Structure 1
Amino acid sequence: MNNQRLHLLVLSGILLATMIVCSQITIPLPIVPLTMQTFAIGLVASLLPVIDSFTVLCIYLIMGAVGLPVFAGFSGGLAVFTGPTAGYLYSFPIMCIVIGAILKYWGKNYLSLLTANIIGMFVGLIMGSLWMIPNLHLGLKAALMTGTIPFIIPGIIKVLLVVVIAQRLQGVVQKQLAK
């Protein structure tokens, strides 16, 4: 294994651990808790190549599926994938692809990071809300009012944090990967 691949593997592990820790930073709300999961997804997608960020999020989901308590509230198991918030979980790898693809083609400057992460945020919120339609027997408007609207401002704050932190870490990451 070459040095670059080793550095990428270590960074992926660190970001996976960050994802697990951020999942536990939760403000409980009636149906959908406010968590730092999407903040971690933004970091993962902003710092890793697309395929690696997708892989990290798939590993995270597999860890939860086999019962490890990696999801919000230390939950895990297959039942989580059928609950009212499962649509958000399903959106995580897709968010990585969307964010990563935009950054791959637009570069990783401030505006690109901001745009990619805002688009990724909306992908996650909308997928999570759409899942609620059949799961909670809601109409589209009620699902969006439950699963998207209340999370836009917190989501933008998390995106701004991602952009600031990703910009600061980019140089270090690139330097390590260039070795």
Structure 2
Amino acid sequence: MKKSSTYNYVLAAFGAAIIAVLAQVTIPLPLIPITGQTLAVGLVVTILGTKLGTLSVLIYILLGAAGLPVFSGMSGGFGILVGPTGGYIVGFLVSAIIMGLYLDKFGITIFQAITSNIIGMVVTLAFGTTWLKIVGDLTWTAAFMGGAAPFIIVGIVKAVMAGWFGVIVRRRLERAHLIEAIA
């Protein structure tokens, strides 16, 4: 059964809300905190797919840019996007697209979902580290050591969690006919 566009927009808004809520789960570190945002982006894209997952991430970013306190630490505003963590947030959008396209091509299995989430983590860290280097006027080594290295292990853990739980939730929503199954 084909869902209405209104229904799909509600799903995308719900995905954005999940990202906003999990963004508030934060483990502070000196330069860049560990947040639940990447976990949430992976979950949302795995559950909702390329179009709705990416739309969810875009809505989340636009709400934050408009000043709503949806970014980590209940922050918001365009200044966050041009600050030290802005590259990670922009990277979420690119990650969502790449993760979704990967899942479209290879299917939504737990293995493929974990793989796509690991790819998404790498993309997010690449965007974030590059932006941190530029904004912080850091060397590549300093940017990598402060903006990527501390997050690799925890990123892999979050990617496994997002892939695993995302597929489980997706399958249950498909069986309940709340989202469309992907052929």
TM-score range, shorter chain: over 0.9
Alpha-carbon contact 1:4-1:176 (below 8 Å) kept = no
Give the structure 2 partner of residue 171 of structure 1.
171
Shift of 1:9: 3.1
> What runs of 5+ residues in structure 2 fail to find an aligned partner?
none
Alpha-carbon contact 1:45-1:53 (below 8 Å) kept = yes
RMSD between aligned residues = 1.6
Alpha-carbon contact 2:114-2:164 (below 8 Å) kept = no
Give the structure 2 partner of residue 31 of structure 1.
31
Partner Cα separation in structure 2 for residue 26 and residue 78 of structure 1: 20
Give the structure 2 partner of residue 117 of structure 1.
117
Within-5 A mapping of 1:26-175: 26-174=26-174, 175=177
Partner Cα separation in structure 2 for residue 163 and residue 59 of structure 1: 22
The change in CA–CA distance for 1:178 and 1:149 in structure 2 (over 3 A counts) is: closer
Q: State how many pairs are aligned.
A: 178
Partner Cα separation in structure 2 for residue 104 and residue 25 of structure 1: 29
Partner Cα separation in structure 1 for residue 112 and residue 40 of structure 2: 18
After TM superposition, the score normalised by the length of structure 2 is 0.91
> What runs of 5+ residues in structure 1 fail to find an aligned partner?
none
After TM superposition, the score normalised by the length of structure 1 is 0.93
Shift of 1:14: 2.2
Give the structure 2 partner of residue 19 of structure 1.
19
Partner Cα separation in structure 2 for residue 95 and residue 51 of structure 1: 13
Partner Cα separation in structure 2 for residue 3 and residue 137 of structure 1: 48
Alpha-carbon contact 1:44-1:53 (below 8 Å) kept = yes
CA deviation string 1:61-116 (max 9, x = no partner): 11111110000001111111111111001101101001000000000012211111
State the one-letter code of the partner of 2:97.
I
